[in-house]
Structure 1
Amino acid sequence: MRYDEYAAHDATALAALVARGEVTAADLLETALARLDAVGGVLNPIAVPMVEIARARAAGPLAGPFAGVPFLLKDWGQDYAGVGDTGGSRARRGIVAARHSTYTQRCLDAGLVIFGRTTTPELALLATTETALHGPTRNPWSPGRTPGGSSGGAAAAVAGGIVPMAGASDGGGSIRIPASYCGLFGFRPGRGLIPHGPQAAEGWEGASSEFVLTRSVRDAAAMLDILAGPDAGAPYPLARPAVSGMVAIARPPARLRIGMMTESPIGSPVDAEAAAAVTIAAGLLERLGHHVEPAAPAIDGRLLARCFLDLYLGQVPADIARARAQTGAGMGAFELTTRGLGRLGRALPAGDYVASRRLWNEFGRALAAFFEGYDLLLLPTVAAPPPRIGALDPPFGQRLALHALAIPGFAAMVRRTGLLETLSRENLTLVPFTQLSNMTGTPSMSVPLHWGAPAPGEAAVPFGAQFVGPIGGEPLLLALAAELESAAPWFDRRPPG
């Protein structure tokens, strides 16, 4: 199959070609691998290749709604039995999954042909994908910039035309941020809808959701139908949405009342192009018959950011300890930033962590009160264009401070100074808008409706418009996404070259 033909189809259309016998699964896989050969050296999206496994699978009989379609898993949480799981960390080298995750098994049952695992920052912690183990992953729209994180390799692979969709997950924006940076549709299902089992009950105390990054809305809708629903032992036995994803996108939503905000919830700057993504989306919504007005939920954004930081810091030492127990790695095998975050996390008292976790209830109820007057919330996905590769590396002073955290008692002292409040604002300055959905367990999505220049003289890069819906609002979000996609198509807008 010629690459231009391959790139002109989404996963749904490729599956239809296979079903009609117009192309084989092996043909599609070889086209995807040829594209990887052509652009992979620049983009660097693959952490763990699985080519021979994929060729053997493509040669056999396949069934399911996506039979024969090439696919990539994220190298974090989406386990494939017998395949390495690095999580972007030198300390995790040698870890091999003992069994498929429920997510992976459902992808296989759908007929997808998995040929690799995509790059992620170490332990999936950052909004940029640059690791000592794999090197930097680059944005197809501007290779000097990051595709985001933690699903950065997935975004680079989809935007770079290697696959029509790829596995991703989102604990603080890790689907929506790369979607915004790479001009993709980034859908985040609500808490518990897609299982993390059997290796975990939930991700990040329920803040993280597994899903995919796609170019088309219908691929996301179909994957929601495939992946949703509990597995045995799931802590939240949520049923599939009352309306399937494919049914939802077949009918436009009724006239919606949408609240819109562009100011950062933590008081940090918002780039003019990021705000423009929202105003452009609002204008399109009005033309489609919806009502949009300025409004925001009554939530203390700085407090939510601090609670998110407590969650974040609490995860790091646990993940470090698990990796060390599995491989015997020393602390020096982890990157400096990860080591520093782990030490700050160990200095977080258990009582403070629990008190912070309990505040999530207040955020969820405040957002639910907002949705009594509005159907959806519209806001930027990110506050700035994708950073340049290396721009987020800690400067000399921060490196010294990170090293100092190894001094006994220093991390606890840092917590007492109030420095963490400052750090929470600084660390979220570029991406202050996505954590609301994670902390409240609500579904959300980033829609690629605007491209703007990140700096004078530079080529345009994507900026997503984010929509947050109420609990159970996945069908409504998908219906609106399909309407927006029809009114302002983005599928054929691909990176130059």
Structure 2
Amino acid sequence: MPLPLPEYDDLDATGLAALARRGDVSAAELADAALARAEARDLGAFAHLDPAAAVRRRAEAAPPGPFQGVPFAVKDLVHPVAGMPMREGSDALRHHVPTTDATLVQRYRAAGLVLLGKTTTPEFGLMGVTEPEAYGPTRNPWAPDRTPGGSSGGAAAAVAARVLPAADASDGGGSIRIPSGYSGLFGLKPSRGRVPDGPTVGEVWHGANASLPVTRTVRDAAAFLDAVAGPSPGDPVALPRPARPFADAVGEDPGRLRVGFSVRSPLGTDVDPACVEAVEDAAALLAELGHDVEEAAPEVDGRALARSYFMMYFGQVAASVRRAEAIAPGARRRVEPVTRLLAEVGERVSAAEYAASLDGWNVYARAVGRFHERYDLYLTPTTAVLAPHVGAQAPTATERLLAGAAARARAGRLLLKSGFVEQLVIERLADTPFTQLANLAGLPAMSVPLTQTAPLPGAPRGLPVGVQFVGRPASEAGLLRLAAQLEAARPWADRRPALVG
């Protein structure tokens, strides 16, 4: 059966909003088009969808705004939506329903977006794939036997499958850029303090986390940044709104940029040749466009950075489990075994160790600052691998048993000192070693979908390959200028997976 509004698949959020403003289509018709595609292209992208009647009523009442009437969904993590379940990928929070909106959700509503529901995430957003044990895996539209990444995997799958033109995402260690890279989308992680996380929290993960929707086009990302950026009361770090809209940067000349690039994993682990080729291709394209490009990287100890990241990560997992326990007593027993183990490790980290790991963030930020004295941008692969197969990162039966036993025995301190847990997490990080630097340094960074592989088994149109650019603090406008130039030179928005047609 044909899906309603065939033109829906072709238009980004800005284009759909223009249709609605002209009266060519109603917000309710757009909502029906999105819901029909959510059913027809089921990839496990949604943790919750409101009933169609409720979505239509919301569409009819959408206020004027830059995205009036555009269907949208919020990631099931970080930002509560009043009246919608907030499970965070965990069985422990299966029945949790917040009663108030996050500040960012309020800004989405004020922009005229019509909220359909919540998109999927791994438990507490802790993985670079979206395969929560309680709810099943989310699949990549380009190859359903592969992951769209995480933790914003549901958002990326929904947008890549053209169920939604854009979807809320957040990034504490790569969770906007990783799924964008795997799914052929444009993903911009803003600077620390650019987009608020209030009112119930100040900074998520000490400011390592930043939020902005994943999109298919650069102009949509710029328009979303204009709609949601800016301080809110009580923000511990807040960047002021710029004098000019971010949308004005799209199409402006980025000037002659100095770009340093590297294809070497900061962990010393392998990088897939396709990811290397994507960066080399991007470097050649940049040179053709008149930019100065050479091989260079910040002087950062990648393994030290990974240790700092995971010391924070362990503590935050422990805090997440405690918070879940406060919401739903008994939650600790219902979280996944590896989550329970990581929480146990986090409970055994001393305050001195945690504080020392946070001090390391300044070391990395200053190293990148010295790099940016010479180079405007740092170019790397977004990920070190193509989108992995579903289940490739799932813990083995032995790991699950060990994790459960260690958590019950409260052996977190022993495991931490033995190096077992550090080795486990670095093995998991080997697929995505390039993204955490921007998080700890608070820098804006983007994944750009410049290339695709040749067709692979299960992926008749090839797999997307993203490249990452890291900019100076508060340089989102400059990133958008370059992204728009790259988009014009190598258009990607019309590429679509076979699932879409």
TM-score by length of 1: 0.97
CA contact (8 A) 2:145 2:458 kept: no
Give the corresponding residue for 1:13.
Answer: 15
Partners of 1:192 and 1:217 in 2: CA distance: 21
Displacement of 1:227 after TM fit?
0.8
Change (3 A) 1:431 1:491: same
Partner SS state of residue 293, structure 1: strand
SS in structure 2 at match of 1:22: coil
Match of residue 463 from structure 1: 465
Between 1:239-248 and 1:372-381, the stretch displaced more is 239-248
Distance change in 2, residues 1:11/1:337 (3 Å): same
Contact 1:137–1:153 (CA<8 Å) still a contact in 2?
yes
- Is 1:209 equivalent to 2:210 in the alignment? yes
- 1:50-96 deviations in whole A, cap 9, x for unaligned? 23432111123530011000001100122111221110111012211
Aligned to 2:44: 44
- Distance, in Å, in 2 between the alignment partners of 1:477 and 1:280 is 18
Task: Give the C-alpha shift of residue 264 in structure 1.
Answer: 0.1
Matched to 2:482, the amino acid is L
Give the deviation of 1:418 after TM superposition. 2.7
Distance 1:411 1:237 in 2: 36
Residues 424 and 457 from structure 1, CA distance in 2 versus in 1: closer, same or farther, beyond 3 angstroms? closer
Structure-2 separation of matches of 1:458 and 1:33: 25
Map of 1:24 onto structure 2: 26
> 1:346 deviation in Å?
1.1
Would you say how many aligned residue pairs link Structure 1 and Structure 2? Answer: 495
CA distance in 2, matches of 1:174, 1:9: 25
Instruction: After TM superposition, give the deviation of residue 133 of structure 1 in Å.
Output: 2.3
Find the counterpart in structure 2 of residue 195 from structure 1.
Answer: 196
Q: CA RMSD in A?
A: 1.5
Q: Is the 8 A contact 1:64 1:110 kept in 2?
A: yes
Measure how far apart 1:2 and its partner are: 4.1
Shift of 1:236: 1.2
> Partner residue of 1:151?
152
Q: Which amino acid aligns with 1:346?
A: E
Q: 1:300-359 CA deviation, whole Å, 9 max, x = no partner?
A: 111001111111111011111111111113422111111111111112111101100011
The amino acid that maps onto 1:199 is: T
Q: How does 1:355-374 map to 2 (within 5 A)?
A: 355-374=356-375
CA contact (8 A) 1:243 1:475 kept: no
Does the 8 Å contact 2:196/2:238 carry over to 1?
Answer: no
SS of 2:72's partner is strand
Conserved in 1, the CA contact under 8 Å of 2:456 and 2:463?
no
Task: Describe the shift of the 1:175–1:16 C-alpha distance in structure 2 as closer, same or farther (beyond 3 A).
Answer: same
Deviations 1:214-255 (A, max 9, x none): 000000000001111111111113202344210111312000
Identity of aligned residues (%): 48
Query: CA 1:17–1:265 in 2, change beyond 3 Å: closer, same or farther?
Result: same
Amino acid at match of 1:350: A
Which secondary structure does the structure 1 equivalent of 2:118 belong to?
strand
Q: Please list, as runs of the form range in 1=range in 2, the aligned pairs for 1:254-333 lying within 5 A after superposition.
A: 254-333=255-334
1:375-454 mapped onto 2 (5 Å cutoff): 375-453=376-454
Q: 1:94 to 1:249 in 2, by over 3 A?
A: same
Q: Using the alignment, how far apart are the partners of 1:89 and 1:130 within structure 2?
A: 11
User: Are 1:137 and 2:138 matched, yes or no?
Assistant: yes
Find the residue that maps to 1:449 and give its secondary structure.
strand
Please state whether the residue corresponding to 1:406 is helix, strand or coil.
Answer: helix
Q: Hey, what's the Cα distance between the residues in 1 that align with 2:420 and 2:137?
A: 29
1:425-444: CA deviation from partner (whole Å, max 9, x where unpaired): 21211000000100100000
Distance, in Å, in 1 between the alignment partners of 2:423 and 2:473 is 31
Q: Using the alignment, how far apart are the partners of 1:426 and 1:354 within structure 2? A: 25
Out of 128-137 and 296-305, give the one that drifted further. Answer: 128-137
The one-letter code of the counterpart of 1:447 is V
1:187 and 1:66 map into 2 onto residues whose CA distance is 19
TM, length-normalised to structure 2: 0.96
In structure 2, give the amino acid aligned to 1:125.
L
Match of 1:83 in 2: 84
- Name the structure 2 match of 1:97: 98
In 2, are the aligned partners of 1:449 and 1:464 still within 8 Å (CA)?
A: yes
Equivalent residues of 1:306, 1:424 under 8 A apart: no
Q: CA deviation at 1:413?
A: 1.1
The Cα shift of 1:110 comes to 0.4
Matches within 5 A, 1:209-228: 209-228=210-229
**Counterpart in the other structure of 2:478:** 476
Distance 1:321 1:61, change over 3 A: closer
Paired AA for residue 266 in structure 2: P
AA aligned to 1:480 is L
Cα distance in 1 for partners of 2:421, 2:363 equals: 21
Q: Name structure 1 gaps, 5 residues minimum.
A: none
Judge which range, 350-359 or 413-422, deviates more: 413-422
Paired residue for 1:253?
Answer: 254
Q: Does the 8 A contact of 2:416 with 2:422 survive in 1?
A: no
Query: Residue 346 of structure 1 aligns to a residue in which SS?
Result: helix
Contact 1:241 1:474 in 2 (8 A): no
Distance across 2 between alignment mates of 1:473 and 1:454:
36
The structure-2 alpha-carbon separation of the partners of 1:109 and 1:400, relative to structure 1 and needing over 3 Å to count, comes to same
Partners of 1:86 and 1:426 in 2: CA distance? 27
Structure 2 contact 93–331 (Cα < 8 Å) conserved: no
**Who is 1:232 aligned against?**
233
Give yes or no for contact 2:265–2:271 (8 Å, CA) kept in 1.
Answer: yes
